Amino acid sequence: MPPIPGSGLAKGLAVTLRTMTKKTVTAQYPDVQPDLPPRSRGVIALFEENCTVCMLCARECPDWCIYIDSHKETVPAAVQGGRERSRNVLDRFAIDFSLCMYCGICIEVCPFDALFWSPEFEYAETDILELTHERDKLRDWMWTVPEPPALDPAAEEPKEIAAARKTADKLRTQREQEAAEREAAAQAADAQNAAGQNAAGQEAADREGTQEGQE
């Protein structure tokens, strides 16, 4: 059946009229900042103090866009007669965000909590090479990482915190005992000094009394 002349126009006008009354969803960025969820995947931040250069993130990254360089350093023994240890020192940590597909695998696999999602997304560049963020820049993103959500008050205390608390309590008790022992020793020394002074005073008085008697 041939189409009725003008039906296309009527359909188009119907769509226009229908959408005219709906609320607009166009984001007016950059004049209006988008209201993103706090856990948005904007950019990856590095907390380099936690990084042990285990290379897990670089190995698991499907895009091979994490570049890590390091060297080994010998750490002298902590106690006399102990063994020297060697540790990895981070020289370079970079992520090429022109290759990254924001899968989050690197953050998931990091066993030392050194990588975090930041919701920051305004880092567009005119030169693609500038999208390789080096360690300092990745470290700076840490300031934009939101705080972790509060723990459930009814949740069981994590094992690490329980162990840390136990050690802290033990140290505190040990310090309190040492302080109490020091105080008791100081009091005993004071009492001994006072007794010595009393005895000396008494002896001097006796001597004086004897001399007066002889005169």
Q: Which is nearer to ligand SF4, 89 or 101 (CB)?
A: 101
Least distance from ligand SF4 to the Cβ atom of residue 107, Å: 7
**In this structure, what token pair is assigned to residue 15?**
């769509």
Min dist. Cβ of residue 36 to ligand SF4 (A): 17
Asked if 117 and 106 count as a contact pair (C-beta separation under 8 A), the reply is no
Kindly tell me the sign of the dihedral angle through the C-alpha atoms of 101, 105, 110, 113.
positive
Q: Contact, 118 vs 43, CB < 8 A?
A: yes
CB atoms within 10 A of CB 118: 20
Complex with ligand SF4: residue 49 or 181, whichever CB lies closer: 49
Residue of 98, 97, 87, 85 whose CA lies nearest to 46: 97
The binder of ligand SF4 chosen from 8, 77, 102, 197 (CB under 6 A): 102
Report which DSSP code applies to 94.
E
d(C-alpha 139, C-alpha 49), whole Å:
10
Q: According to CB under 6 A, which one of 43, 45, 66, 138 is a site residue for ligand SF4? A: 66
User: Contacting ligand SF4 (CB under 6 A), which of 89, 103, 163, 205?
Assistant: 103
Distance CA 196, CA 201 (A): 9
Question: In this chain, which stretch among 18-26, 56-64, 168-176, 205-213 interacts with ligand SF4, using CB under 6 A?
Answer: 56-64
**Binding window for ligand SF4 (CB under 6 A); candidates: 98-106, 122-130, 141-149, 198-206:** 98-106
Which residues, 106 to 135, sit near ligand SF4 by CB under 6 A? 106, 110, 112, 114-115
Q: Which residues are at the interface with ligand SF4 (CB under 6 A)?
A: 51-57, 61-63, 65-66, 68, 95, 100-106, 110, 112, 114-115
